[in-house]
Amino acid sequence: MADQTPRTDRYRQGMATRRAVLGNAHVDRASAQETPFDQPFQELITEGAWGTVWSRPHFTKRERSIVTIALLAALGQDEEVAMHIRATANTGATEEDIREALLHVAIYAGVPAANHAFKIAKSVYAEGQAVNHAEEETR
């Protein structure tokens, strides 16, 4: 969407962090789907989540990624869990990190939530391995 709203420094920082974590392709797709209806929401999450919280210096992107996945799993936010597991390719969080986070989810948020998140993670990791295998075959 071609928005004429002036962008704040927090927005620009948020967009840079969002791209670093989720990747340009994901952010470009999301931006292309933005409408006047959801533009204020997109600006809010870009400034608030990405420009403020994800851009803070104390936690690394890896640590934020682990915490985010655990919270999303506990809340049953399936699409967001999958998106953030895919983003671990950019954050440095490993499969082992995610496994440990989901074990915490089982104890503190419930076995069903963790069980479902493990299924999502396995699917995302299998999808990534299939893509990597196909890329290797084309070389």
Contacts of the segment 32-38: beta carbons below 8 A, 24+ positions apart = 32/1, 34/1, 34/3, 35/1, 36/1
Query: What is the chain's mean pLDDT, rounded?
Result: 91
Tokens of residue 47, six digits:
């400034």
In the prediction, which pLDDT does 106 show?
98
Domains (range + CATH), the chain: 1-58 (no CATH), 60-139 (1.20.1290.10)
Say what the pTM is.
Answer: 0.87
pLDDT in tens, 74-130: 999 999 999 999 999 999 999 999 999 999 999 999 999 999 999 999 999 999 876
pLDDT in tens, 27-64: 999 999 999 999 999 999 999 999 999 999 999 999 99
Instruction: Give the residue among 77, 76, 95 at the shortest CA–CA distance from 86.
Output: 95
> What is the predicted pLDDT for the residue at 3?
53
The pLDDT score that the predictor gives to residue 37 is 97
- In this prediction, residue 128 carries a pLDDT of 83
Query: How far apart are the C-alpha atoms of 85 and 24, rounded to whole Å?
Result: 16
- Contact call for residues 35 and 47 (beta carbons, < 8 A): no
pLDDT of residue 1: 45
Question: Residue 87: how many CB atoms within 10 A of its CB?
Answer: 20
61-75 vs 9-22: helix crossing angle, rounded to 10: 80
| 85, 65 contact by CB (below 8 A) | no
pLDDT in tens, 1-12: 445 566 899 999
Q: Which pLDDT score is estimated for 6?
A: 66
CA-to-CA distance for 19 and 128, rounded, in angstroms?
Answer: 19
